[in-house]
Amino acid sequence: MTDLLLLPGDGIGPEVTAQVRRVAGKIAPDLTLDERPFGGASFDQHGSPLTDETLAAANSARAVLMGAVGGPKWRDAPRDKRPEAGLLGLRAGMGVFANLRPALCFQPLADASSLKREVVEGLDFMIVRELTGGIYFGEPRYIEDLPGGGRRAVDTQVYTTAEIERVARVAFELARGRRNKVTSAEKSNVMDSGLLWREVVTDLHRREFADVTLEHILADNAAMQIVKNPKQFDVLVTDNLFGDILSDAAAQLTGSLGMLPSAALGLPGTPGLYEPIHGSAPDIAGKGIANPLAAILSFEMALRWSLDRTDLADKLFAAVNRALQHGARTPDLGGKLTTVEMADAVLAEL
- Residues acting as catalytic residues: 136, 187, 220, 244, 248
Based on the shown chain and the rule CB under 6 A, indicate whether residue 87 belongs to the binding site for ligand IPM: yes
Residue 290 Cα to chain centre, angstroms: 17
Nearest distance, CB of residue 106 and ligand IPM, angstroms: 21
Q: Taking contact as CB under 5 A, which single stretch among the options 15-23, 27-35, 239-247, 291-299 is the one that binds Mg ion?
A: 239-247
Nearest distance, CB of residue 277 and Mg ion, angstroms: 7
Q: Using CA atoms, how far apart are residues 217 and 225, in angstroms rounded to an integer?
A: 10
Name which position in 10, 244, 300, 332 contacts ligand IPM (CB under 6 A): 244
Based on the shown chain and the rule CB under 5 A, indicate whether residue 275 belongs to the binding site for Mg ion: no
Nearest distance, CB of residue 176 and Mg ion, angstroms: 27
Helix axes 13-27, 339-349, angle to 10 degrees: 20
Contact yes or no for 71/42 (Cβ under 8 A)? no
Q: Pick the closer one to ligand IPM by CB: 214 or 260.
A: 260
Q: How far apart are the first and last CA of the chain?
A: 27
> Residue 51: phi, psi to the nearest 5?
-85, 160
Picked from Mg ion, ligand IPM, none, the partner binding residue 87 (CB below 5 to 8 A depending on kind) is ligand IPM
CB-based closest residue to ligand IPM: 84
Q: Parallel, antiparallel, or unpaired: how do β-strands 98-104 and 124-130 relate?
A: antiparallel
Based on the shown chain and the rule CB under 5 A, indicate whether residue 15 belongs to the binding site for Mg ion: no
What is the CB neighbour count within 10 angstroms for residue 43? Answer: 24
My answer on whether omega of the bond before 140 falls inside 30° of 0, hence cis, is yes
Q: Pick the closer one to ligand IPM by CB: 70 or 271.
A: 70
Based on the shown chain and the rule CB under 5 A, indicate whether residue 244 belongs to the binding site for Mg ion: yes
Picked from ligand IPM, Mg ion, none, the partner binding residue 319 (CB below 5 to 8 A depending on kind) is none
Q: Pick the closer one to ligand IPM by CB: 87 or 319.
A: 87
Picked from Mg ion, ligand IPM, none, the partner binding residue 84 (CB below 5 to 8 A depending on kind) is ligand IPM
Q: Pick the closer one to ligand IPM by CB: 277 or 337.
A: 277
Nearest distance, CB of residue 252 and ligand IPM, angstroms: 13
Nearest distance, CB of residue 243 and Mg ion, angstroms: 9
The letter for the amino acid at 77 is A
Based on the shown chain and the rule CB under 6 A, indicate whether residue 300 belongs to the binding site for ligand IPM: no
Residue 29 Cα to chain centre, angstroms: 25
Return the sign of the alpha-carbon dihedral for residues 72, 49, 237, 138.
Answer: positive
List C-alpha distances in Å: 137 to 126, 127, 131, 140, 247: 24, 20, 10, 9, 19
Q: Using CA atoms, how far apart are residues 322 and 188, in angstroms rounded to an integer?
A: 43
In the shown chain, the binding pattern of residues 56 to 75 toward ligand IPM, with x for contact by CB under 6 A and - for none, equals --------------x-----
Q: Pick the closer one to ligand IPM by CB: 277 or 301.
A: 277
Q: Pick the closer one to ligand IPM by CB: 26 or 81.
A: 81
Number of residues in the chain:
350
What is the CB neighbour count within 10 angstroms for residue 172? Answer: 22
Q: Using CA atoms, how far apart are residues 210 and 91, in angstroms rounded to an integer?
A: 31
Based on the shown chain and the rule CB under 6 A, indicate whether residue 84 belongs to the binding site for ligand IPM: yes
List C-alpha distances in Å: 246 to 98, 111, 322, 326: 15, 21, 28, 31
Nearest distance, CB of residue 87 and ligand IPM, angstroms: 5
State the residues that interact with Mg ion by CB under 5 A: 244
State the residues that interact with ligand IPM by CB under 6 A: 70, 84, 87, 244, 277, 279
